Structure 1
């Protein structure tokens, strides 16, 4: 739904006619996200943006007092899209708290499940949701001049993906009618089956536990996985060059389009897919085993790696209230003063957070959303990190760390990631190379590069899965089929888990007292990306990326669809259930009292 209202505003240069427009809720995403913008149609740019989330859920409240062993089953229900990512992160936090290390094959199985989730979710979102933003129907309605150019533009990689012109690619993305759109739906089913082979069910796993997994490790189960995986690998050899052609065309067709959705490069990646050879889940060793992940953690500022140490990353997290509907907790109990290494822990760290909801009327001059404002403190500044939709930060961090070399994946240290896909039934071997995006000598974190990275990361996840399957099969052949290690729940402990949800960084922080959960705070990517203006007035990433975005849509205010704004927001892969919670408040209790004679028993 869109609404608009003229508003007079005065700049130093001129009086400008601004039009207020709102898209609430945003479609083709998960959850109740609203975008409220002021647009200067005369200068073709977005002047101001606020993002809102109108639902609250509160897992951090009702986790208190629960048995820690139930944490992954409960937190999985935070989201119906990336529930397994939450379960995985919770299991990691529990492994740290219980000081338990799963058998190697247990970790390979979990990695295979999570790699399948990346493949499934990115494929479904990229091809069937984001793809619609670039399909022929959409481009015809918003930029008919661009479509006309696409009709006469040959696709450079037509021999690899089968579409002669860019317009043919756009037609293949038309919802329900497009050939590629329908094919992608079938491929996502394959990936979902792969996930279920490893984790039991999608999206709330039934085989994940602290200490390992309940999956029965056999040659057959991994062969079934590989049969599907090779079909996915074959599909990737078409997907990546097709999207390269499409996104490169938009740069060429619309000079200046690199500014759509662009913001300063402030990327966060918490790393994912642990290497069981190195990961012991102990906090004291977290910096070392974190660097050995198959997706390397890192904070990237202005294109450069600031840190890849998970201990530093953990200690730098701050949760600001900003313009959100909560009361402060500065006068509440501080659960953790020092981490296990003796480092001081800030009161605004997730270990010390208290969630105190305060519902109120939305006020863009005050508080206007249920999403808080997570920030990362670099020692000087509180940085509004974003995830680049997940894949952009993951590939950028992994490229700069240059520590992954498993044959199928190489990081040569030149700002690139090489993905080596083997021969498949229909196609020869192919190497895909993702490079840190630079245009005009400047690093690019924009809508097109977030989307491009998503295609490359699908291939990255598939290549990792090939390695994981080989390692798991080797464990079975060696007779090492035990998938779980016993543990004891301590009376008191603090712990954290770090991984990457599909759309970006994910952490779970837990405090155990007297054998029960005393404090628990999950922080998925959406609070980071959808965060609102913080206590210092710094806008969150959605807001920042939309503000100052140029408008290339050919429609005027009366028929404006906001496609450039929508491409910006959707490039982050919003999933609002992860950013909001549940609140009962002090409502009325309704009861129906039945007469004792209303029912009879035989």
Structure 2
């Protein structure tokens, strides 16, 4: 490996693959080491899946079983979203108990997946070993810095927190692995099998609901609640320390606040799954849907969110479908539907040699059209967008959760070893790497608090004699429908068109195409690309020993799904033209 001798030259560096949901993620950068900043980034996906192609002609009742196989991590989120789309198509409303069971399963999935990613994957980026390799000066300071909340989590210094995160050996790392075991058990109690549910169906669930079932879930949930009383203050101490130790670190992974949340966890008292009432029942979700631009909530309307989705090809390996059939010209409310909407999408793959000036990835460019601009929304890794939208909307009010308009207040009840504890997630100043990670911690507490409510609701149904969990339905000859929820790492939608009782068109859009999208038809980079391009370099290593930790923290903060294998290559030392670009954060966002 070689680099240019001239510190003023740009150096090409790449990390490929970084494994994620829909294939292998590659990050290709150009770095100005003299200015200590990434000046260019391209995000690539090297695997084509083709679900939208082979779903055609299938029995729509099989859709959730098939689409859950899109991912081996969040397959249940796909199954759930598909079931929602089928409920709309078939005109079926599940019994309340069936919906509470589904909510409990999805809440457990949030707890499981966020825990294992935060503590056992992204947490490694902040552990003692990693910091020692990349920023030994920061580790020295961490060893001298007292933890403000040591009494809550038990680690006297920030250095002690970092040591606890060391893989396989760290105390907290090992504890989190045990937590992932019983949160997965919680999921299986409700949905039968992880990660491809065996008890989810349109019209409800096949789970046998008993008091014992929910008691088994609750015993594990309360252990998780106690765990979160330690985790939230621990991560607050760790992330706050990085701001203090490295002035300017707020710019790592930072981009304009362009957040999308499609909402999740329906309230069966309000949700009838009809498109005509979708705005009303969408606003009753326990995670509020919304689009947040520059800190302002543009809408909480699922109809607006749906109609604003555009699929742009940009620099991806596909042919356009301008001359192809439009499946849906107007939605069930009579609103016009764009040709670039998922209902009308045609997937026409055309593989080619990777060329960053032309086509370079299998990921398309989903955008949200606000009437003027095609916005490159991101999910903030999931929790950042969810909490931000829910906080601004101020609609969610339960025994344990209160959205205030500028924050989300979470109350966790008394547990065996810890008293009742209250946390408050406040809307941050930035959409950056550290705040995406912080939100992931707070959302674990949020999911646990909601699960307490769902358990109470489910037990009330059983005690009232309402034990049915499924409602029969018939498949219509023709229908158009959509399902909206939040996969662990962000927005998830399924759009379906039925003709002659079979699937004529089906397009699932998980968070990874949104976050990992390529430059679109207007030249706008995708969120990974944008966040990395705006990232300064704080790593202390010279170019020849460069690990790229700041870049990896930026990418992994989006939760690109189990980044277990990272291969890095330095360029051949080729001298590139020097680029002088204004600092990305002079603009007022």
- TM normalised by structure 1 equals 0.92
Paired position in structure 2 for 1:452: 438
Match of 1:189 among 181, 188, 191: 181
1:147 aligns with 2:139: yes
1:4·1:22 contact (CA, 8 Å) conserved in 2? Answer: no
Q: Structure 1 residue 7: deviation in Å? A: 10
For the structure 1 residues 30 and 65, does the alpha-carbon distance in structure 2 shift closer, same or farther, using more than 3 Å as the test?
Answer: closer
Q: Deviations over 1:26-56 (max 9, x none)?
A: 2698841100000000000000000101000
For the structure 1 residues 30 and 146, does the alpha-carbon distance in structure 2 shift closer, same or farther, using more than 3 Å as the test?
Answer: farther
Matches of 2:177 and 2:529, distance apart in 1: 31
Matches of 1:257 and 1:214, distance apart in 2: 49
Matches of 1:29 and 1:147, distance apart in 2: 33
Paired position in structure 1 for 2:448: 462
Matches of 2:494 and 2:5, distance apart in 1: 44
**Equivalent residues in 2 for 1:201-240, closer than 5 Å:** 201-240=193-232
Q: CA RMSD in A?
A: 1.3
For the structure 1 residues 6 and 31, does the alpha-carbon distance in structure 2 shift closer, same or farther, using more than 3 Å as the test?
Answer: farther
Match of 1:106 among 98, 104, 109: 98
Paired position in structure 2 for 1:83: 75
Match of 1:34 among 8, 26, 33: 26
1:332 aligns with 2:324: yes
Q: Deviations over 1:394-428 (max 9, x none)?
A: 00000001011111101122x10001000000100
1:7·1:19 contact (CA, 8 Å) conserved in 2? Answer: no
1:56 aligns with 2:38: no
Matches of 1:249 and 1:306, distance apart in 2: 33
1:278 aligns with 2:240: no
Matches of 1:227 and 1:181, distance apart in 2: 22
The range that moved more, 20-29 or 422-431, is 20-29
SS in 2 for 1:343: coil
Paired position in structure 2 for 1:477: 463
Q: Number of aligned residue pairs: give it.
A: 563
Paired position in structure 2 for 1:532: 518
Q: Deviations over 1:231-253 (max 9, x none)?
A: 00000000000000000000000
Q: Structure 1 residue 6: deviation in Å? A: 4.3
Paired position in structure 2 for 1:431: 422
2:258·2:291 contact (CA, 8 Å) conserved in 1? Answer: yes
For the structure 1 residues 364 and 7, does the alpha-carbon distance in structure 2 shift closer, same or farther, using more than 3 Å as the test?
Answer: farther
Segments of 5+ residues of structure 1 without an aligned counterpart are 9-14, 439-443, 578-602
**Equivalent residues in 2 for 1:483-494, closer than 5 Å:** 483-494=469-480
Q: Structure 1 residue 4: deviation in Å? A: 6.5
Match of 1:420 among 404, 411, 414: 411
Q: Deviations over 1:58-103 (max 9, x none)?
A: 0000000000000000000000000000000000000000000000
For the structure 1 residues 4 and 325, does the alpha-carbon distance in structure 2 shift closer, same or farther, using more than 3 Å as the test?
Answer: farther
Matches of 1:6 and 1:109, distance apart in 2: 59
SS in 2 for 1:115: helix
1:30·1:576 contact (CA, 8 Å) conserved in 2? Answer: no
Matches of 1:446 and 1:411, distance apart in 2: 22
Segments of 5+ residues of structure 2 without an aligned counterpart are 564-589
Q: Deviations over 1:200-250 (max 9, x none)?
A: 000000000000000011000000000000000000000000000000000
**Equivalent residues in 2 for 1:205-354, closer than 5 Å:** 205-354=197-346
- TM normalised by structure 2 equals 0.94
1:506·1:523 contact (CA, 8 Å) conserved in 2? Answer: yes
Paired position in structure 2 for 1:509: 495
1:548 aligns with 2:534: yes
Q: Structure 1 residue 481: deviation in Å? A: 0.4
Matches of 1:468 and 1:219, distance apart in 2: 13
